[in-house]
């Protein structure tokens, strides 16, 4: 096994030399010639039974796609699992995990620890998949599990407030009940939940894996025995990842360690500066004193990550409106720094009282630190947080600020 950066560059590329190509081929075929239809039938049965690649033929792109399969192999190598199964979005991946672990097994109860991504929260609360969810705290997961529980769901660091959870402790409480850990914030660069007992390691590939804000996808890393049912669900529901998405996320993996490490360095710096700024009340980043009482950074996680959150003294909407460089948008893990207001956007559909109780107040902003120069991000955050008293200064300087952009 190679080291992380090497695996990120070389993973899932084993067959390229034999194909005589250097870049990842994008196979857009929806169907594949099957001269021997009986043999094709065996391949189809293999996929219907949850199998991975078949030597005879992919048969049909909803059953298998070689470009997507290379990405899955690379992601599995980074997460240290025997398999990975990709989907058309992170939410399609969450849905497939719930269907495989709760619907197929007839165990329609989920235990989840808030906060989690608002879309996942909404999916688990909506009843759409026929599951019922008990929300609890990380130390009381065992108490919430019943014989009907098919899945435990956690996120660490949590979206959006960067709460950290001791993965091994929750895995011990979950016992035989499958544990899904959303690893989107940490990425496999900083954390490998499967090694600590997670059954399913979930990523919204839309975020750091793709890394450039131009591809929607999801992926679940897990043991082969759990990958089979996920592939079956994917075939039946058609929640497939487009091969172009597989290509873009696979290409993104090569630079993932460098991007995460660079953005993380900037985030550590910004967290300290934000913490000292009079425009913030509370700053959440695992690097800050007191943010990691259980000492998980350096043990469970290899670093504090590049996501941070802070509450504002002023109306957060006004702060965001003043930003000139930082992109006011949902999503995260892109090359540019993104900011969003969870109560208004990503966590809007979580009931207000439950959202607040889980540590996501109405004045919290979430920041996904990008790859810009730290001083430029800071200048923008500083002026935006410095309030209405400096509005005149901002107005007069905003045209100067835009000038270099227009001239290039």
Q: Give residues 61-90 in contact with ligand PLP (rule: CB under 6 A).
A: 89-90
Give the pair of three-digit tokens for residue 394.
């901002």
Shortest spacing between CB 33 and ligand PLP, in angstroms: 33
Nearer to ligand PLP, 60 or 117 (CB): 117
Shortest spacing between CB 292 and ligand PLP, in angstroms: 19
Is 235 a residue that touches ligand PLP (CB under 6 A)?
Answer: no
Is 163 a residue that touches ligand PLP (CB under 6 A)?
Answer: no
Catalytic: 207?
yes
Distance (Å, rounded) from C-alpha 322 to C-alpha 387?
9
Q: What are phi and psi of 310, to 5 degrees?
A: -155, 150
Catalytic: 62?
yes
Nearest to 180, CA basis, from 69, 70, 293, 100: 100
Is 159 a residue that touches ligand PLP (CB under 6 A)?
Answer: yes
Distance (Å, rounded) from C-alpha 132 to C-alpha 146?
12
Is 358 a residue that touches ligand PLP (CB under 6 A)?
Answer: no
The 202-231 site mask, x for binding ligand PLP (CB under 6 A), equals --x-xx--------x-x-------------
- Give the alpha-carbon dihedral of 88, 92, 94, 100, to 10 degrees: -110
The tokens 């969003």 sit on which residue? 340
Q: What is the DSSP string of 333-394?
A: -SSS-EEE-TTTTTTTTS-HHHHHHTT--TTEEEEE--SS-HHHHHHHHHHHHT-GGGHHHH
Q: Give residues 183-202 in contact with ligand PLP (rule: CB under 6 A).
A: 184
Catalytic: 135?
no
Q: Give residues 92-151 in contact with ligand PLP (rule: CB under 6 A).
A: 117, 119-120
The tokens 């913030």 sit on which residue? 280
Q: What are phi and psi of 111, to 5 degrees?
A: -110, 125
Nearer to ligand PLP, 59 or 94 (CB): 94
Catalytic: 182?
yes
| CA angle, 159 then 259 then 382, to 5° | 65
Nearer to ligand PLP, 117 or 247 (CB): 117
The one catalytic residue among 70, 107, 114, 207:
207
Binding residues for ligand PLP, total number by CB under 6 A:
15
Interaction site with ligand PLP (CB under 6 A): 89-91, 117, 119-120, 155, 159, 182, 184, 204, 206-207, 216, 218
């Amino acid at each position: 096994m190679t080291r992380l950066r090497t695996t990120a560059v070389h993973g899932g590329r084993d067959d390229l030399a034999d194909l005589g190509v250097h870049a990842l081929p994008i196979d857009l075929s929806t169907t594949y010639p099957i001269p021997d239809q009986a043999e094709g039938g065996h391949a189809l049965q293999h996929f219907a039974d949850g199998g991975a690649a078949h030597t005879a033929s992919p048969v049909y792109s909803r059953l298998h796609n070689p470009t997507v399969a290379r990405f899955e192999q690379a992601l599995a190598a980074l997460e240290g699992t025997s398999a990975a199964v990709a989907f058309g979005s992170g939410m399609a991946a969450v849905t497939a995990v719930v269907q495989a672990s709760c619907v197929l097994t007839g165990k329609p109860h989920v235990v989840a620890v808030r906060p989690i991504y608002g879309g996942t929260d909404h999916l688990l609360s909506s009843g759409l998949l026929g599951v019922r969810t008990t929300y609890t705290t990380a130390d009381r997961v065992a108490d919430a599990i019943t014989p009907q529980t098919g899945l435990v769901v956690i996120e660490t660091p949590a979206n959006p407030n960067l709460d950290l959870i001791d993965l091994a402790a929750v895995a011990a409480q979950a016992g035989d009940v499958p544990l899904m850990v959303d690893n989107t914030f940490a990425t496999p660069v900083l954390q490998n939940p499967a090694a600590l007992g997670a059954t399913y390691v979930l990523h919204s590939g839309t975020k750091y894996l793709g890394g450039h804000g131009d591809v929607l996808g999801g992926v679940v890393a897990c043991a082969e025995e759990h990958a089979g049912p996920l592939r079956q669900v994917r075939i039946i529901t058609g929640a497939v990842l487009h091969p172009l998405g597989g290509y873009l996320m696979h290409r993104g993996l090569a630079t993932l360690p460098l991007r995460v490490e660079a953005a993380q360095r900037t985030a550590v710096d910004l967290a300290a500066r934000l913490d000292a700024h009079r425009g913030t009340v509370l700053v959440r980043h695992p690097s800050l004193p007191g943010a990691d009482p259980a000492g998980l950074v350096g043990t469970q996680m290899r670093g504090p990550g590049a996501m941070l959150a802070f509450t504002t003294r002023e109306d957060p909407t006004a702060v965001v409106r003043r930003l000139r460089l930082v992109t006011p948008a949902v999503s995260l893990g892109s090359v540019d720094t993104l900011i969003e207001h969870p109560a208004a956007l990503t966590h809007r559909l979580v009931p207000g009282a439950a959202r607040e109780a889980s540590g996501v107040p109405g004045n919290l902003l979430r920041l996904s630190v990008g790859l810009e120069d730290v001083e430029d991000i800071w200048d923008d955050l500083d002026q935006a947080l410095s309030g209405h008293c400096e509005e005149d200064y901002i107005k007069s300087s905003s045209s100067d600020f835009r000038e270099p952009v227009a001239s290039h």
